[in-house]
Amino acid sequence: MIKRKTYIEVKKRSAALIDKAGLSFTAEEKNKIDVADFGLSDIYKEGVQILTFFDTDRIAGKLLILLSDQTEPEHWHPAIGNNPGKQEIIRALWGELRFYIPGVNNMRFGFIPEGQESNFTVRHEIIMKPGDQLVLEPGTKHWFQAGPEGALLYSFSTTVCDIKDGFTDPKIVRTTVIEED
Amino acid sequence: MIKRKTYIEVKKRSAALIDKAGLSFTAEEKNKIDVADFGLSDIYKEGVQILTFFDTDRIAGKLLILLSDQTEPEHWHPAIGNNPGKQEIIRALWGELRFYIPGVNNMRFGFIPEGQESNFTVRHEIIMKPGDQLVLEPGTKHWFQAGPEGALLYSFSTTVCDIKDGFTDPKIVRTTVIEED
């Protein structure tokens, strides 16, 4: 649940970050930014803003926008029937991006959102600078977090089916509900 | 065939355009820019520079770089066996991009490279500005050309198999041969 006023504010701040980074997105695209609070109702703490610039039946391209210290919850893209699951390429574009995948716990720069210790299980930290990139195979648990200035990153992938994503936090609901003031 | 000296010059000018546009590509990536002369041995007239930033068994992302008035020859991505063929998303990033697909001949800003009338058959012109985008389904003939300042564009696609692409110009050979001075 997110209040209409907060939803508008988050969208506005996300569009401003795109402009600050000097990225070529049209006004129409910026207007379609999606705000995902994952049903946790604490958008500035856990959430992500998504600008989907293409999404065909075969491939998708999204710009993900994180505000200052905002965290995208831990999740993974499972296989679905005959589909091996979403393969995703992450490419850092602007700001400091803290990315977490399975492996040795070397967490140093990021933090687990307060009270959420059990919902962030992978803690191998990769600090991504603009132009850094990684490939996530289906099923790989991952979460990420912006530095103090926020962060912009691309997500390129095979067919998207967000509704089938797995999340570590059992409280998560993928659909954002907007509460009118 | 392209002389080593020209090859190096074209790579250098392409990397300079990336810097001018302010895009986040690493020095290592810029060093891997591929120069394609399509065997026509006239790179400044017909050719393209390609920076492949990811290319898995399922999806690919490339930055295409055209120098001033440079033209990528007409081609298409055919079906191969059970694969329906490459679906490609073109996204204009910087400079003026003249794009040609099947449809009414409304060509006004671009030009057919001299002596190549028969090798450029589709002439429905779309002038793409930064942030403009189009989806090319497999089998769709297309070619494109930069304006006087050059142009940068993304190509995102399903699995790439350049060697299977169809070209209208029968003189085309996909592999670039570098001639040592």
In three state form, how does the secondary structure of B102-121 look? CCCCCCCCCCCCCCCHHHCC
Find the helix or strand (DSSP H, E) in which B18 lies.
Answer: helix B4-21
Q: What confidence category does residue B61 fall into, taking pLDDT thresholds of 50, 70 and 90?
A: very high
Structure confidence at residue B161 (pLDDT): 80
Percentage of chain B modeled with pLDDT above 90: 89
* Residue B146: band (very low, low, confident or very high) from pLDDT cuts 50, 70, 90: very high
> Contact B156/A54, CB-based, under 8 Å?
yes
Residue B95 pairs in a beta bridge with B151
> What is the mean predicted confidence (pLDDT) over A49-55?
97
- Determine whether the interchain pair B94/A130 forms a contact, defined as Cβ–Cβ distance below 8 Å: no
CA-closest candidate to residue A82, choices A134, A138, A135? A138
Tell me the per-residue pLDDT of A109-162, one tens digit each, with 9 for 90 and over: 999 999 999 999 999 999 999 999 999 999 999 999 999 999 999 999 998 788
Check if the interface score ipTM surpasses 0.85.
yes
Structure confidence at residue A54 (pLDDT): 96
Q: Are strands A48-55 and A59-66 parallel, antiparallel or unpaired?
A: antiparallel
Q: Is the pLDDT of residue A170 over 80?
A: yes
Spatial separation of the C-alpha atoms in residues B103 and B180, rounded to whole Å: 43
Q: Is the pLDDT reported for residue A181 higher than 90?
A: no
Per-residue pLDDT tens digits for B82-141:
888 999 999 999 999 999 999 999 999 999 999 999 999 999 999 999 999 999 999 999
pLDDT attached to residue A179:
92
**Distance between B93 CA and the closest CA of chain A, angstroms:** 6
Among chain A residues, CA nearest to B134? A54
Enumerate the residues of chain B whose CB falls inside 8 A of the CB of residue A58. Answer: 87, 158
Residue B159 and residue B62 in contact, taking contact as beta carbons nearer than 8 Å:
no
